[in-house]
Structure 1
């Protein structure tokens, strides 16, 4: 995967720029390939301004990337591979992906996000906060308690995250439907394919938005799609805020078409004070933390190490991004 002009040719060791944190730097230095690691955490320096000897870039979706120019910036001639911490890659300019391998953190946070979703489902069905007794009188109050069993869970998108959700939902005896862009794997027993996104919304009691943000999915969940929703639908967005038209979401909630919305992502992040979603009844907003878990970094570092080993051996890398699809 290198050439005679590679910056590695002099030492035989790849030069890796680390823009994540010290833990990533330490893990890279401990790799058998013994890469030359350059830590660059300076938030004031544009993340695309790299040392000329850079062969590999390990980066994250920082604010700096949001400021990247539309026209291609000058990158080191020997930059062969970019690995990003995040699963979503919409923040990065296309020119960073062109002409080199580009891999993402796909699947690393799937388990944590799936647990977040199941917690949201159970919170809605069981309402644990309403079950707490504080005195003798409240002990005698018996609120209605729902169940997930027999309910239909719709999955908009069917990548690693929604597949992890489907596995957990099966344990609660839910019916799971999914809508995806790619071909359906007939051997999949976790979910059944929905005929269309509209059919998915119409059949679901709960619906999880778990797809990448691309030009094709931006505002995909719009007024027309929400109008097709089964009355009382609970919408959970753990993907990207821009996939949901937030004005249409507010209107659907006010009209009673939706019963509740749980949003771990919004546009922008954070929402400014006074935004209508803060005051909207039936909306729960969390600060983009569904991916957080004690195991996240360990999982990422394991995948990074495996990919670095594959890179050194000239073998295929895992979690390659399809630049045409944007994920």
Structure 2
């Protein structure tokens, strides 16, 4: 997806009339890649004593990420916070960590916000397949620690099972591609509906039908006002018996009390949750000790190549910005992603 042009004004041969000034919240690895860019930018490291919305005058580009203080942002934008900004780039795919005024308001046409859509799709897809395999093969529970544990049991399998994708963006596509290699049938629902067929993916028009048909249900959609609490007690009551739920998106998509009740009732056989609401869950929360629920600390996006891919994505957009061309992966304020 592309957005409107946002540039400092390109000169001859695409060289900007003035080198961009970039405030970098993303650390030295990205900073070093930026500094070598052909547009000759001035790269300023973040002053960690300042909240992330403090942008000095003269800064054209803000590169930022969640979990560095945006959760403490005021409800309304501080006076003059935009300063001279012309482009904001997030290191995350989702933008629900930010105050709405970051990406929505009178400035949204002149100061586009772009995200890192697809940067972590591969490691997240690998995490999903690992979770599905671990659920079926039970390697953590059948491990033997002595001859007394040497008993036979029948393991599950993937061939012929259905993996249901709630959301079908870059992450959903990466999951579907890998799931097919294991013989899984893949079904999906998407917010925009289906206009063209996706090879190897069965389109579902209704979420309830996908929930009822899936052995493994994967939540891979952004958190918006419309999707908050999407998977609740009503849908869980319709789930295919023995279903395994994998949430790699946002904890608030799932009613956690309803999930616990469905697991206790035996309707849901297990859940692998890389995200919760809140993060972390408070001490003593039943998810920490429940044998059917596996928690990980919001790390599914991580991998050895992610930082390099993020830098590549940002540099591609910096090419466009400095040349006066449309930016990629622009956030749509109307949809919230």
Question: Which of the five TM-score ranges fits, normalised by the shorter chain?
Answer: over 0.9
Displacement after TM superposition at 1:289 (Å): 0.7
Displacement after TM superposition at 1:181 (Å): 0.4
In structure 1, distance between residues paired with 2:52 and 2:148: 60
In structure 1, distance between residues paired with 2:18 and 2:67: 31
In structure 2, distance between residues paired with 1:3 and 1:83: 16
Alignment of 1:239 onto 2:254: no
Alignment of 1:47-62 (within 5 A): 47-62=52-67
Which whole-Å deviations, capped at 9, do the CAs of 1:262-314 have from their partners, x for residues lacking one? 00000111111101222333000001111110000010000111100011111
Residue 126 of structure 1, aligned match among 120, 137, 150: 137
In structure 1, distance between residues paired with 2:298 and 2:30: 22
Contiguous gaps of at least 5 residues in structure 1 = 5-9
Matched length: 320
Alignment of 1:1-327 (within 5 A): 1-2=6-7, 12-42=18-48, 44-73=49-78, 74-97=80-103, 98=105, 99=107, 100-134=111-145, 138-139=149-150, 141-327=151-337
TM-score (norm 1): 0.93
> Residues 205 and 38 of structure 1: is their aligned pair in 2 closer, same or farther, counting only changes over 3 Å?
same
Which whole-Å deviations, capped at 9, do the CAs of 1:29-63 have from their partners, x for residues lacking one? 01111101111141x31111111111100001024
> Residues 194 and 227 of structure 1: is their aligned pair in 2 closer, same or farther, counting only changes over 3 Å?
same
Match of 2:13 in 1: none
Residues 163 and 190, structure 1, Cα contact 8 Å, conserved in 2: no
TM-score (norm 2): 0.91
Match of 1:7 in 2: none
In structure 2, distance between residues paired with 1:41 and 1:157: 37
Residues 170 and 176, structure 1, Cα contact 8 Å, conserved in 2: yes
Residues 21 and 41, structure 1, Cα contact 8 Å, conserved in 2: no
Contiguous gaps of at least 5 residues in structure 2 = 1-5, 10-15
CA RMSD, aligned part only? 1.7
Runs of 4+ in 1 over 3 A off after TM superposition: 1-4, 129-139
In structure 1, distance between residues paired with 2:85 and 2:166: 35
In structure 2, distance between residues paired with 1:173 and 1:300: 31
In structure 2, distance between residues paired with 1:132 and 1:274: 27
Displacement after TM superposition at 1:225 (Å): 1.1
Which whole-Å deviations, capped at 9, do the CAs of 1:52-85 have from their partners, x for residues lacking one? 1111000010241111111122224421100011
Residues 87 and 106, structure 1, Cα contact 8 Å, conserved in 2: yes
Displacement after TM superposition at 1:130 (Å): 4.3
